[in-house]
A and B are shown apart, each in its own frame.
Chain A
Amino acid sequence: MTARTPEERHDGHRGRDGHGVPDGGHRPGGAGHPDSPPADGPGPLVGRSVPRKEDPRLLSGRGRFVDDLSEPGMLHAQFVRSTVAHGEVTVLDLDAVRRVPGVVAAFDAADLGLGDITARLHRPPEEFAETAMPVLARRRVRYVGEPLAIVVARDPYAAEDGLEAARVVYEEREPVVDEAAALADGAPLVHAAAARNTLVDVAPFATEGIDDVFAAAHRVVRVEARTGRQNALPLETRGALARWDDRAEQLVLRTCTQVPHQVRTVAAGCLGLDERAVRVVVPDMGGGFGLKCVVGREEIATAAAALRLRRPVKWIEDRKDALTASFLAREQHYDVRAAFAADGRILGLDADIVCDMGAYSCYPFTAGIEPLMAAAELPGVYRVPAYRVRGRAVTTNKAPSAPYRGVSRPQYVMVMERLFERAARELDMDAVELRRRNLITDFPYTGVNNITYDPGSYRESLDLCERTLREEGWYARRDAAAAEGRRLGIGYACFNERTGYGSAAFAQRRMDMVPGYDLAEVRMDPGGAVSVTSGTMSHGQSHETTLAQIAADTLGVALAKVKLHQGDTDRVPYGWGTFASRSVTIGGSAVRLAAERLGEKLRRLAAARWDIPWEETELHRGTVRRRDDPGTAVAYPELAALAHFRAHLLPKGLEPGLTATASFDVFHDGTFSNATHGVVAELDAETGGITLLRYVCVEDCGVAINPQVVEGQCRGGIAQGIAGALFEQITYDERGEPSATGFLDYKVPTAQEIPDITLFHLETPCASNATGAKGVGEGGTIGAPAAVLNAVNDALRATGTELDTLPITPEAVHRALHGA
């Protein structure tokens, strides 16, 4: 246990000047180079909030997002989309489209003849139903917004004109619009291959004798919770620009994706090309949050149109399509019971989880993404001795689901934290104290779910969060408010989050495509400057800065001497992109290992000059020096010039050039970040409105490579969690028509709704990777719904009503306060 409280570090509030990671502590593998402050800086870069390399161009309007790119002779595409949720297309007539001024071509599925996008799990048929997602719907349509045809025109306005001229006749089928309808006896089938509209049905854990545990328990509490369907909502919608490059004999597909190599794999497969004949390039990307870590049908169709026409074709999704026809997430239903002993120990957990995954399985994760995550990880930070779970993915006539920041964890953490709050009421115990009695405190801990948790600061984070709110006087203010008839509530969420899933963890899901490892290449040019590639894909996370910090420290060079390259399948070895908070834990470790290997080459070059074993040298501030005589050193540029320009002088056994590659993977259960969120909410009795008065987050992501970036990830994540807790939802009517087609209907919180957030950083370094860092991209989003919901329920405590549904609407609060 190496967690430390902020008091040990500085004044506690992680202010802008005080958030450097202190030295000392445990940094397995040593994230900072042992003795090499860069030539241009006062100390190691890791642990410092160095300015972002990304910022100057993004602040000056010189970022290059996909819609900022153009090509000579470029055409513009849009999609004819289904207007019915479920049916057969009996007529798809594009003749009038092709006559619209400015329209160049229109293609339907038959015109393009593309292969399907099929995501697979290697599970028996009773656990997984394989379904295919055609690039363009052939005859059957399964959701409003499903693409039927691509219209290509001289400008985007003409493409829109073209859409209006399409004639589509449907033979409608009864739509399946929710989980209950999907599972009903005799329900219409969304896919013939998915009996009972079930794509995934697993029961991975069932502790022997669990029914006896529940029968004998002092108290059993139950939570039935539902969470709304959300859009991850990157502010940049999806888009792609494709062209055939005759000289390279390659399709060049520039697209905003979190997973460039997976897009290449699918594009090649659907188009019948060798993978080498597809080059996926990712420009600056305006957010993704998971929505862009699956392969989209439209980017493949755009590529196909460019091939057919031998002209560059660009497609930029409009906001309506982004909201209704891209990928959604989070619509889940939990029915969970927890058994407790009289002293407050949790004895067992019995869960039934159903995730409404919409019309198709997303690639490469499949519709299992949500239920498999929830079923594996539900027990979380608590010592749960008995566990039974069934997790299902059902298919409905809605836009398909994809991963969204946190993936199921915002929901199951909310359910667990509701269970503890409810049990505390029934046991007449303090809910924080009840959590304390059940938190995992001895690490490593192997849970009933067969996961081994590495060390974290579960207890410490909870204590610090509660103490902060108590010392700030919120408990007294809550009680004083109650005396005045005002309704204040305090809520917590204590949770962990597996980050850096390696191949082993994904293989447990039995995915056909098993993500996990990452490859990095570090290259030094003849002048001593360093290029780094990583298979990860930044879309706001600051990798250009943080991965460069790691490489620069490892080699002992200035940050300005290091440049990161991502998002070009011709330049970057096969990688898995950015999702699941993997980039710094896994990608960063690969960068560090590759940089170490390059350092070894440099040391070998220098050692040969001195005729000593290379182990007797070390890297120091851009030089290699003798350990026995630190005054004798040779600078990198001299060694780099030797490696490139004077190969005839190279020592025997050393090849010209200075390039090193390394991979990193995790062959155990990964590393777990953790946090506690504390929220104070006030309810408006008249309107049911909810105001967040205070938000405190105590997080532990191990070594913070760049503390300011960590803070940014936490704050932004919390804002998205609040969005799901209080505001955002896409509902569907009985015909399967989505309710939200723009920002007037889909309520994205603004600066007026998101409160200031106080962050504390505890540090339990990861012992099993090369940087000590744990992932931090998703944690904020995971904790917020539970903490907000608990705070609202605390405020409602006098009413006897408890809410378990997200988003928490003012209507629901009003009803709870005033009865039906």
Chain B
Amino acid sequence: MSDHPPDLPLTEPADAGTDPALERQLLVLDVNGAAHEVLCEPRRTLVDVLRHDLGLTGTHVGCEHGVCGACTVLLDGRPVRACLLFAVQAEGAAVRTVESLSDGRELSDLQQAFADHHALQCGFCTPGFLMLAEGFLAERPDAGRTEIRELVAANLCRCTGYQPIVDAIHGCATARRAVRREN
């Protein structure tokens, strides 16, 4: 048997890149505190631009119809489904992704709480839950466990059974309140 692949006509396909005939728009997006220029089709979703144009692949895509929440990012501080937004809709807003939560060397208190509570297994849904909680706790720092469980019900996780995620967010909120009281 040959080591070379069989049946190779070596057809030369058209070059990669976007078809020049396609309509495109120049967007300026504020992502994680930095301005980015993106040239893309108007139909391109925010999550695709974040992941594939800006290389911020920490935000994941689980269903593309706004149910699973794996693509959750913050838009002006509020959790949104990045698969349901066109990138153009994010112009003028501040977008935050999971990559903004820490400096890459030390985990934030929320991330650390997820690790402490084993609130992730495969880790695919995790960035969505982190951003959901990050936005929520900023708005509702006094939330109790019941309210946090309602929040966690916004996204899907297939590995953990949710209880550790609820515990992690609750633990983080409780610790933040303790710090606030001390200060």
Contact = CB atoms under 8 A, between A and B. Distances in A.
Contact of B153 (A16, A51, A158, A752): A752
Contacts of B114: 55, 59
B164 A310 contact: no
Interface string A21-63: 0000000000000000000000000000101101110111111
B10 interface: yes
A650 interface: no
A540 B158 CA distance: 10
A693 to B, nearest CB: 15
A274 B156 contact: no
Nearest to B57: A68
Interface in A127-170: 154-158
Nearest to A271: B5
Looking at chain A's contact residues, the main secondary structure is: loop
A101 B56 CA distance: 27
B140 interface: no
B19, B122, B127, B156 pick with most chain A CB within 10 angstroms: B122
Contacts of B120: 55, 58-59
Interface in B19-67: 19, 21-22, 41, 43-44, 48, 51-52, 56-65, 67
A272 B1 contact: yes
Contact of A236 (B117, B124, B127): B124
B63 A319 contact: yes
Contacts of B17: 154
A469 B79 CA distance: 40
Contacts, number: 222
Contact of A61 (B16, B63, B118, B127): B127
B181 interface: no
B163 interface: yes
A306 to B, nearest CB: 9
A618 interface: no
Interface stretch (B84-92, B100-108, B172-180): B100-108
Contacts of B48: 156
A74 interface: yes
A711 B14 CA distance: 52
A193 interface: no
B48 to A, nearest CB: 8
Interface string B73-94: 0000000000000000000000
Contact of A154 (B11, B16, B70, B161): B16
A756 interface: yes
Contacts of B6: 271-273
Given A542-B121, A715-B163, A235 B157 contact: yes
B160 A59 contact: no
Contacts of A237: 62
A211 B56 CA distance: 66
Contacts of B97: 61
Given A743-B156, A750-B162, A757-B161, A61 B115 contact: no
B3 A52 contact: no
B150 interface: yes
B165 interface: yes
Interface string B111-133: 10011111011111111001000
Given A58-B126, A101-B21, A286-B60, A715 B164 contact: yes
Contacts of A249: 3-4
A568 interface: no
A303 to B, nearest CB: 10
B8 to A, nearest CB: 7
Nearest to A273: B5
A717 B7 CA distance: 46
A541 B121 contact: yes
Contacts of A60: 58, 98-99, 101-102, 104, 107, 111
A757 B164 CA distance: 10
Contact of A51 (B58, B64, B111, B115): B115
Contacts of A712: 118, 121, 159-160, 164
Interface string A101-127: 110110000000100000000000000
A560 interface: no
B98 A52 contact: no
Contact of A286 (B56, B102, B124, B130): B124
- Which of B11, B70, B118, B120 has the largest number of chain A CB atoms within 10 A? B118
A711 B156 CA distance: 19
A136 B108 CA distance: 47
Given A65-B124, A286-B124, A742 B63 contact: yes
Contacts of B21: 101
Contacts of B68: 235, 319, 743, 748
A186 interface: no
SS class, residues of chain B in contact with chain A: loop
B67 A744 contact: yes
Contacts of A609: none
A64 B124 CA distance: 10
A318 interface: yes
B3 A748 contact: no
Contacts of B104: 60, 62
A307 B65 CA distance: 33
B95 interface: no
A105 B13 contact: yes
A756 B117 CA distance: 14
A319 B65 contact: yes
B67 A251 contact: no
A59 B158 contact: no
A708 interface: yes
Given A68-B51, A235-B157, A75 B67 contact: no
B19 A285 contact: no
Which of B18, B63, B123 has the most chain A CB atoms closer than 10 A to its own CB? B123
Contacts of B19: 101-102, 154, 158
A164 to B, nearest CB: 14
Interface in A441-496: none
B122 A234 contact: yes
Contact of B122 (A49, A74, A157, A287): A287
Interface string A69-92: 010111100000000000000000
A58 B164 CA distance: 16
A664 interface: no
B143 interface: no
A722 B21 CA distance: 51
B5 A307 contact: yes
Contact of B44 (A102, A105, A157, A719): A157
Contact of A59 (B3, B107, B156, B164): B107
A311 interface: yes
Contacts of B162: 719, 750-751, 754
Contacts of A621: none
Given A49-B118, A273-B1, 11 more contacts: A61-B59, A67-B57, A235-B156, A277-B3, A285-B122, A319-B65, A540-B122, A542-B121, A717-B161, A743-B156, A744-B67
**Considering the complex of A and B, which 7 residue pairs feature the smallest CB-CB distances, nearest first?**
A61-B58, A286-B124, A58-B123, A540-B122, A719-B161, A715-B161, A743-B67
16 contacts: A52-B118, A55-B123, A63-B123, A67-B60, A105-B11, A235-B122, A235-B156, A236-B122, A276-B3, A286-B123, A289-B158, A311-B16, A711-B118, A743-B68, A748-B68, A748-B156
